[in-house]
A and B are shown apart, each in its own frame.
Chain A
């Protein structure tokens, strides 16, 4: 069981490292947000599962579950907020169809 937990921890940490490399190497704010938002979520999930496997107690299980749920709920919300802010600030850098501007002009 400990080996399973250790492998899960290494997997999750590798995903966090991958996200860091993506944040450093990607070009453009959207690519950086892409790599910074998705990979650490799965990494936190794997590490929380490893923690629940290694530390066999109800408190650890409940807390790990809470962390996973919190991350899965708040991660996309935060990324969406930041993405919208960045989009409104850097609109001229986009190419192609501006769908948000179209929807906003329809709404008003």
Chain B
């Protein structure tokens, strides 16, 4: 069990590294929004694995908060991208 959880953490760290690469490099704003969303999903998964490792549900509510923040952030940033498109069409 401990080995499997360690493997899961390593895999999640790899995924977070990939998302971070896209967050810094991503050519457009939308790429960065995608990377940020994926990074927050990775954080959600990481907290759930950590809760399983500790076997205490103290930090389990954080998962809900992070998931909700990821959704709200994606929605707001999508509005931002769209509004910028309108302004550039007007200009």
Contact = CB atoms under 8 A, between A and B. Distances in A.
Interface of A: 2-3, 5-7, 9-10, 12-14, 16-21, 23-24, 29, 32-33, 36, 40, 43-44, 47-48, 50-51, 54-55, 57, 59-60, 63-64, 66-67, 70-71, 74-75, 77-79, 81-82, 84-86, 88-89
A55 B14 CA distance: 25
A-B CB proximity, top 3 nearest: A20-B18, A6-B4, A20-B15
Given A6-B5, A16-B11, A23 B38 contact: yes
14 contacts: A6-B4, A9-B52, A43-B45, A51-B49, A59-B60, A60-B51, A67-B44, A67-B48, A70-B67, A74-B67, A79-B74, A81-B78, A88-B85, A89-B81
Contact of B51 (A7, A32, A55, A88): A55
Interface of B: 1, 3-5, 7-9, 11-12, 14-19, 21-22, 28, 30-31, 33-35, 37-38, 41-42, 44-45, 48-49, 51-52, 55, 57, 60-61, 63-64, 67-68, 70-71, 74-75, 77-79, 81-82, 84-86, 88
Contacts of A86: 28, 30, 81
A63 B78 contact: no
Contacts of B82: 84-85, 88-89
B41 A16 contact: yes
A13 B60 contact: no
Name the residue in A6, A9, A18 with the highest tally of chain B Cβ atoms < 10 Å from its Cβ: A9
